[in-house]
Amino acid sequence: MGRYSGTSTVSLVLLCLAVISSVVEGGFLDWFRSDKNKGHQACRVEFEVLDPQGLRLWTAQKAQVKGFGVELFINPVHGRKQQQCNVCRNTTEVTHGKFFLQDDNVIVKSGDVLEYVIITDNGKTVQRHKPRKLIVDDSIIKPKGKCACPSSAVTPATPAESAKQVFEEPTAEIALLERILARVANKCAEGTMSSFLFLQTDRADGPTDDLKQIVRNYFQSKDVLKPLTDTVQSAEDGADGIVFRVTNIIDKLKILELSRQNSDILDYDKLTAIDDLDIRSSFAETE
């Protein structure tokens, strides 16, 4: 009797597992998971620093997103309990398919680190997204009263066209090298330069080899960065992303120049100068 009861119990457990498996495959659980995030998908946030003061930012409206907000800190000091939010704004107004936010009083300078949290509202729930960073570059600083939005008469080059231009046209390559040399001169004057970069990503856990492959996969997914995939040498966990080392400083500056329009890759030296955090000693220089 006991043996029969035990066999029945095992059969019941196996039956339950089979039912659960079929439910998962049928997408029933996915329906619940996706329902939580409906109306909370966010597009890339574009920034304009206004001169002499002010900050404008915007993002395209995704389906079912009813409101957009941001909590932004300039040069935050991590570890400090109380930090004043420099720009805390939200809006439900949509203009030409975009949410716009602007603060005319805040002062932002080239080289400042902006750390921001996106907040989305789907009309029922409010969701805070993972913190992201942006290092202010001269290219996003605009005279007040003017917009950096490209003219509708100009057709921007696709990423594939941009990559081909940089790597195949001599004049484009020369212009790129000139910008890199200017950056080298500036960095030498600042006295801080290394071969480390920072990739912002929601997935920054796992073995070191996996982290390195995540960075390499990111390069492979970007036409303009694909030729530089082999420059990635090593990778380590970092707050809100992955710190990785490339072959040399010239490769690093080339990557920064080619990814100017995408804030996912940042200069790790500038981040450590603000955050007072340095994990570079954990990298083996012999790798």
CATH of the domain at 224: 3.30.70
Domain that holds residue 256: 194-276
Same-domain status, 138 and 198: no
What pLDDT is stored for residue 37 in this prediction? 61
What pLDDT is stored for residue 156 in this prediction? 42
Of 143, 163, 185, which residue is a domain's last?
143
Q: Which CATH number goes with the domain that contains 86?
A: 2.60.40.2140
Tell me, yes or no, whether 3 lies in a domain: no
What pLDDT is stored for residue 80 in this prediction? 65
Number of domains the chain is built from: 2
pLDDT digits (tens, 9 = 90+) for 231-286: 999 999 887 789 999 998 889 988 988 887 666 899 888 887 655 444 444 554 44
Tell me, yes or no, whether 31 lies in a domain: no
Judge whether 243 and 269 are in contact, CB under 8 Å: no
Q: Which residues lie across from 59 on neighbouring strands?
A: 99
What pLDDT is stored for residue 285 in this prediction? 45
* Spatial CA neighbour of 102 closest among 145, 131, 66, 67: 145
What pLDDT is stored for residue 161 in this prediction? 45
Tell me, yes or no, whether 285 lies in a domain: no
Same-domain status, 43 and 139: yes
Tell me, yes or no, whether 106 lies in a domain: yes
What pLDDT is stored for residue 88 in this prediction? 95
Tell me, yes or no, whether 56 lies in a domain: yes
Q: Which two tokens stand for residue 46?
A: 């574009």
What pLDDT is stored for residue 38 in this prediction? 72
40 Cβ neighbours under 8 A, 6+ residues apart: 65, 120, 122, 125, 127, 129
Regions in the chain scoring below 70 on pLDDT = 1-37, 78-81, 144-192, 203-209, 261-263, 273-287
CA pair distance 271, 257, nearest whole angstrom: 17
Q: Strand (E) positions, 44-167? A: 46-51, 55-60, 67-74, 87-91, 98-103, 113-121, 126-128, 132-135, 141-143
Of 117, 143, 169, which residue is a domain's last?
143
Q: pTM here?
A: 0.62
